Amino acid sequence: MPGTVKSLKVTYNPINESDTFTSGDSVSGQVALEVAKDCEVDSLLVKFKGKASVLWSERHGQVTVVYSSKDKYFSIKHYLIQDKDHNNVLPPGIHIYPFTFQIPFQEMPSSFKGSVGKIVYSLEARLSRSLRIDKTDTVKIKFVSNADMSSDPQLMEPQHETKDKKMKLFNSGMVAMDVDLEKTGFCQGEGIMVVACIQNNSSRPIKPKYCLYRKHSFFARGKRRLDTKDLLKEVGEPIPPSASEKVTRVITIPHDLEPSILNCSILKAEYRVRVNLDVKYATDPEIKFNIIILPAAQVAASAPPPAASGFGFEPSGNTSSPWGTVPAPPAAAAPQPLDPPPPYDAYGMYPTMTDSGKIF
């Protein structure tokens, strides 16, 4: 026998082609409630929240230890039907409740999903009825932190490292490399130019190898969980013995690669460029560079998003909220999608590279 409530669905309206949001944007949508017959409702609400969480377990002998941590950024509730409303009986059919939230004007990390941690921004609809289990529906939105690369000089700083190695056993002589990166910060889809001056004073040919890899770190209860993965690998032309060459390689960052996350207290998403010389019968000398990947500039849709009305829009004419009446902001104060974002250094978002300790 079918129940009284046939479906509960929460959806949102995209504001650009990439279907992303950032601080200050308005998030509008609808809650659709379909009932098969008269339905008495205690409350119907929509919640907008953002949080990070990590969770993993480790086996120590006969004991399993669970490590977990959470970091909450915001949580906003808006009641579409409240307990104090009278005669909350909905007739059969589909009932649509529009809403609008505004993402807080604060610095927050981008959406993220890793092996044991995630950063999620979501909308949740919750229907409560007397003597029944609450019915819920959730949809995630993709949040991207504001990024203004030109505002932080550190991101434009070039990087330089040298490495040499004396050959032993089945090889003789020495190899050395002097490697430069044009800068530290790169956008999604951008090319990383690696310039290397390589000296091969050994008795065998050598090959330069390049790798872009990511490093995810998760933190809980004083412990760190590390997860690394090679993303792109490239091999250069061989350099013969007793020769020196200057080689240039451009490594293109994938357009869909997640941005660096360095502004979350319980997880980090970092990137490295590794350059090494492939030497037969010897340990390969290598150099690692820290790089920061920034989100590509977002192009807003031609139609501007609707202005936020406090914490949400009440379709039934009830202008009350859990915090009292919230007046709508003036039209001039509505956020503009192409406004320049705040500079990184305003929040101390990125640590100094020399303070990051050992490079993995």
- Measure the CA–CA gap between 169 and 202, rounded to whole angstroms: 12
CB of 77 within 8 A of CB of 156? no
User: What percent of the chain shows pLDDT beyond 90?
Assistant: 65
Mean pLDDT of the chain: 83
pLDDT digits (tens, 9 = 90+) for 155-191: 889 999 999 888 776 667 889 999 999 999 998 999 9
Does the pLDDT at position 3 exceed 60? yes
The closest of 161, 234, 143 to 197, measured between CA atoms, is 161
Task: Output the CA angle 231-235-239, nearest 5 degrees.
Answer: 155
What are residue 99's DSSP bridge partners? 29
Reported pTM: 0.75
Q: Which residue has the higher pLDDT, 15 or 153?
A: 15
pLDDT digits (tens, 9 = 90+) for 204-233: 899 999 999 999 999 999 999 999 999 999
Residue ranges and CATH numbers for the domains of the chain are 5-144+301-336 (2.60.40.640), 149-295 (2.60.40.640)
pLDDT at position 300 is 34
Question: Over 90: is that where the pLDDT of 274 sits?
Answer: yes
- Distance (Å, rounded) from C-alpha 226 to C-alpha 217? 5
Rounded Cα–Cα distance for residues 254 and 9 (Å): 34
Q: List, for residues 62-106, the tens digit of each pLDDT value.
A: 999 999 999 999 999 999 998 765 678 999 999 999 999 999 999
